[in-house]
């Protein structure tokens, strides 16, 4: 069954760091006919890229830590462990974003990218999608404070064993990309180490 919807009206509500738009729409019901008209506000999220950085030779993960407003009042302190990430510029390839953001936020160079998947973060109110990769890196020199001053970034590089990182799931590692990425790593770690061994 092909389901249909109709957008009746859109209204921009805010154009700041976030862009908020109100929609009036209607859609077909599973039981048949059309459901009552809905009014919903949506944050107009861009397409983002996120990268879980893994060093298969040392079996270490390179993560970042930064302050997140969304964690304020829900987790103390509101600094989260995360994967590298950033938004796509107009016409920019997803792989190019992954390489650029890895360099900007950690100083690491991506040796290979493994596609994990593309998903919505919070589709009930936000249009943001994330394409997630596992990036193979050399963690030997990964350290320091990174980020762009003009974007207000204060990012600390955190290197830990894969076991330690996976152990942080739903604790310090408790946002969408890192949860998906670490679970994917747990399932694919042996294969990545074999590929790494073959390339040495």
Q: What positions carry a catalytic annotation?
A: 151
Ramachandran quadrant class, 117 (left: phi over 0; alpha: psi -120 to 50; beta: rest): left
Start-end of H helices in 83-175: 94-106, 162-167
Extract the tokens encoding 15: 């154009």
Please enumerate in sequence order all residues whose Cβ is within 8 A of that of 143, keeping only pairs 6 or more positions apart, or say none: 107, 157, 159
Residue with tokens 């879980």: 52
């Amino acid at each position: 069954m092909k389901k249909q919807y109709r957008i009746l009206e859109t209204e921009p509500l805010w154009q700041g760091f976030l862009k908020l738009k109100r929609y009036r729409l209607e859609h077909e019901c599973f039981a048949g006919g059309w459901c009552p008209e809905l009014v919903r506000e949506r944050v107009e999220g861009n397409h983002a890229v996120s990268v879980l950085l893994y060093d298969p030779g040392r079996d270490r993960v390179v993560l970042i830590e930064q302050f997140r407003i969304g964690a304020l009042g829900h987790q103390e302190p509101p600094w989260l462990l995360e994967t590298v990430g950033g938004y796509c510029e107009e016409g920019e390839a997803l792989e190019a974003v992954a390489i650029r953001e890895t360099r900007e936020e950690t100083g690491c160079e991506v040796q290979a990218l493994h596609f994990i998947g593309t998903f919505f973060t919070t589709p009930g109110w936000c249009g943001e999608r994330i394409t997630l990769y596992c990036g193979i890196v050399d963690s030997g020199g990964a350290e320091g404070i990174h980020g762009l001053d003009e974007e207000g970034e204060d990012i600390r590089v955190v290197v830990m064993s894969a076991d330690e990182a996976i152990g942080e799931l739903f604790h310090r590692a408790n946002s969408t990309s890192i949860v998906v990425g670490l679970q994917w790593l747990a399932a694919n770690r042996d294969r990545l180490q074999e590929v790494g061994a073959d390339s040495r």
